[in-house]
Chain A
Amino acid sequence: MQNPIPTLCSQHNATASRMPPTLLWVSCGSCSGESMALLGVDGQATDLLDLLEHDGVRLLWHPSLSLDPLAPIVRQVLDEVLPLTLLCVEGSIAMGPDGSGLFDTFDGKPKRDLVYELCAVADYVLALGTCASYGGIPAAAPNPTAAVGLQYEDGQPGGLLGAGWRSRRGLPVVNVAGCAADSDTMVSAMRWLLAGDPDPAQLDHFGRPSFVRPCLSAADRPKCGTAHWVGHSCYGCISQKFPLSRELLKWTEAKKCASQSLLT
């Protein structure tokens, strides 16, 4: 029988006695900023490769990397044929219109429901980026899609899963806030969970691990003001530097492309 697991993953650390940890990446209402950061648009691709190669993580599916369709893999995960160690969610969860969740669908059904079911079978759940953590910019006024984060909504605990939700290993959602969260921080969070017995006390009152850098502020501008503009509370995760000088796209590349008749 053909191996149902996509082969874009390292298996050399796998042993019969110890299943390798698995990673499933689901993208909801996002700009793909975290995917792009993880894929090394800012030159950090080794972070992801290290995670797969040296930590022996099996990548079950990633929207930009996987050739296979998602549906069969989701089915195996929900049937618990495939164990799911890390569930990475990128992007806000659309609850609208009218609570139906149909602003974001997968296979004709609300992606909200898919994420909810996947969270129930995952050892750990990571919300990557401010959108998945707290709703982010899609939740800005007038919040057209009724966007929420996984465990926060409108600055308060709640969201898709509710404040009291805990994963199979007893942890709330790990919020890797940032816009976009950089790949170092995301991979650090994954490694922290994979190291075993992560302490929930290391999460702050917004569910962030201590190594999530709170704000990329400048000396003359302690806050970027974006959160104020879009009308939701600032959790210190939106940078005024992004994206002009930092990092998803390097400014040098932008200048180079501009000179290559992108704008002429």
Chain B
Amino acid sequence: MREPITIDLNRVEGDVEFRLDVEDHIVRDSWCVGTMYRGYEQILLGPAEDADIRNRISAVCSLPRISFESTSRFAPVSIAKVRLHPPAGAR
């Protein structure tokens, strides 16, 4: 017998739930579902491209972003550049 199960999580951050498709005590399929969308991706395309906005994406994990942005003001290196151009011999 197939049985769908929904597990809603409280969070350490996440508006997330899991859906499981269980058949004979075996998980046949599973989904991780983000249940909340705010559209920051679109807001940040507009005139609101600003540290004041980015740091409000999450109050839980703003620490890494604060740290990176505060240091990147002095060292103008973006994460994308670091990933795209690793130092020679890095791998």
Contact with B along A63-93 (1 / 0, CB 8 A): 1101101110000000000000000000010
Is the Cβ of B52 less than 8 Å from the Cβ of A240? yes
Pick from B38, B62, B66 the residue with the most CB of A within 10 Å. Answer: B38
Q: List chain B residues, Cβ under 8 A from A70.
A: 8, 10
Q: Indicate whether B86 reaches chain A with its CB closer than 8 angstroms.
A: no
For the complex of A and B, the 3 pairs showing the least CB-CB separation, nearest first, are A144-B39, A33-B59, A144-B42
Whole-angstrom CA separation of A131 from B66 in the bound complex: 21
Q: Indicate whether A218 reaches chain B with its CB closer than 8 angstroms.
A: no
CB contact under 8 A between A64 and B12, given known A229-B50, A244-B66:
yes
Is the Cβ of A140 less than 8 Å from the Cβ of B48? yes
Q: Which residues on A are within 8 Å of B, measured CB to CB?
A: 27-29, 31-33, 35-37, 41, 63-64, 66-67, 69-71, 92, 94, 103-108, 111, 137-138, 140-145, 147, 179-180, 224, 226, 229-231, 238, 240, 242-244, 248-249, 253-254, 257-258, 262-263
Contact with A along B24-45 (1 / 0, CB 8 A): 0000000000011111111100
Whole-angstrom CA separation of A33 from B36 in the bound complex: 16
Q: Out of A36, A229, A243, A249, which one reaches B48, CB within 8 Å?
A: A229
Q: List chain A residues, Cβ under 8 A from B56.
A: 31, 33, 137, 179
Is the Cβ of B63 less than 8 Å from the Cβ of A142? no
Residue of A nearest to B57 (CB): A31
Q: List chain A residues, Cβ under 8 A from B41.
A: 144
Whole-angstrom CA separation of A37 from B48 in the bound complex: 24
Is the Cβ of B66 less than 8 Å from the Cβ of A142? no
Is the Cβ of A180 less than 8 Å from the Cβ of B38? no
Q: Indicate whether B60 reaches chain A with its CB closer than 8 angstroms.
A: yes
Pick from A94, A111, A229, A231 the residue with the most CB of B within 10 Å. Answer: A229
Q: List chain B residues, Cβ under 8 A from A254.
A: 63, 66-67, 70
Whole-angstrom CA separation of A229 from B56 in the bound complex: 14
Residue of B nearest to A102 (CB): B37
Q: List chain A residues, Cβ under 8 A from B10.
A: 63-64, 66-67, 69-70
* Interchain Cβ contacts under 8 Å between A and B, 13 examples: A31-B57, A63-B11, A64-B12, A137-B53, A143-B39, A231-B47, A238-B52, A242-B52, A243-B59, A248-B59, A249-B63, A254-B66, A262-B67
Residue of B nearest to A226 (CB): B52
Is the Cβ of B62 less than 8 Å from the Cβ of A249? yes
Q: How far, in Å, is B91 (CB) from chain A's closest CB?
A: 18
Q: List chain B residues, Cβ under 8 A from A238.
A: 52
Whole-angstrom CA separation of A69 from B6 in the bound complex: 12
Residue of B nearest to A253 (CB): B63
Q: List chain A residues, Cβ under 8 A from B15.
A: 27, 104
Is the Cβ of B38 less than 8 Å from the Cβ of A230? no
Q: How far, in Å, is B61 (CB) from chain A's closest CB?
A: 10
CB contact under 8 A between A226 and B37, given known A31-B57, A243-B55, A263-B68:
no
Q: How far, in Å, is A130 (CB) from chain B's closest CB?
A: 10
Q: List chain A residues, Cβ under 8 A from B8.
A: 69-71, 106-107
Q: List chain B residues, Cβ under 8 A from A64.
A: 10-12
What 19 additional pairs, Cβ within 8 angstroms, besides A31-B58, A230-B43? A31-B56, A32-B59, A70-B8, A92-B38, A104-B15, A104-B36, A105-B36, A107-B6, A108-B6, A137-B48, A144-B37, A224-B52, A244-B70, A249-B62, A253-B63, A254-B63, A258-B70, A262-B63, A262-B64
